[in-house]
């Protein structure tokens, strides 16, 4: 398996509506996956719940990676995700991400901090909405 990266993962999770969410998660995240976003921890089931909610809100979007570093099983990046909701509202969130990859190349653990750069103040919680 080729090691994943944030661009492939986000595109599969959010911006490829024809791809089954379970398949996208399995492709990029280990069964014991854990994530902390802005201090809120989720296990893989919680992450799937989060992605399900985001898919219900988001009609399209894009990701721009500004910085990316891979060192063995360590991965870090700074990226901006821009999403357009079904109601037409657009939000941009900058993300600082540090991750551990499993030997098979999938994300095993992610810790990230988000910063709302464009959009409504109430969109600050998009990184961990359920």
Question: When comparing pLDDT for 87 and 124, which is higher?
Answer: 87
How confident is the model over 68-108, as pLDDT tens digits? 999 999 999 999 999 999 999 999 999 999 999 999 999 99
pLDDT at 1: 59
pLDDT at 129: 72
- Residues listed for the chain: 130
What are the distances in angstroms from CA 109 to CA 19, 28, 117?
23, 11, 25
How confident is the model over 12-38, as pLDDT tens digits? 999 998 999 999 999 999 999 999 999
User: Across the chain, where does the E strand assignment appear?
Assistant: 29-37, 40-43, 58-71, 74-85, 90-101, 107-118
How confident is the model over 48-73, as pLDDT tens digits? 999 999 999 999 999 999 999 999 99
Query: What is the number of alpha carbons within 13 Å of residue 1 lying toward its C-beta?
Result: 15
CB atoms under 10 Å from CB of 50, counted, come to: 20
What are the distances in angstroms from CA 68 to CA 4, 64, 105, 111?
12, 11, 16, 15
Burial class (CB in 10 A: 0-12, 13-18, 19+), 28: buried
Rounded Cα distance, 127 and 72, in Å: 26
pLDDT at 55: 95
pLDDT at 14: 95
Rounded Cα distance, 118 and 93, in Å: 7
Of 122, 114, 116, 45, residue with least CA distance to 87: 122
Query: What ranges do the domains of the chain cover?
Result: 6-127
6-127 is a CATH 3.30.360.10 domain: no
């Amino acid at each position: 398996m080729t090691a994943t990266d944030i661009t492939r993962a986000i595109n599969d999770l959010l911006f490829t509506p024809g791809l089954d969410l379970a398949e996208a998660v399995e492709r990029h995240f280990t069964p014991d996956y854990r994530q902390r976003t802005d201090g809120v921890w989720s296990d893989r089931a919680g992450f799937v719940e989060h992605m399900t909610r985001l898919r219900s809100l988001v009609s399209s979007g894009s990701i721009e990676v500004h910085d990316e570093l891979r060192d063995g099983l360590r991965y870090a990046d700074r990226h901006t995700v821009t999403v357009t909701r079904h109601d037409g509202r657009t939000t941009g969130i900058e993300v600082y991400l540090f991750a551990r990859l499993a030997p098979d190349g999938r994300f095993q653990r992610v810790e990230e901090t988000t910063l709302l750069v464009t959009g409504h103040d109430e969109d600050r919680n998009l990184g961990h909405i359920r």
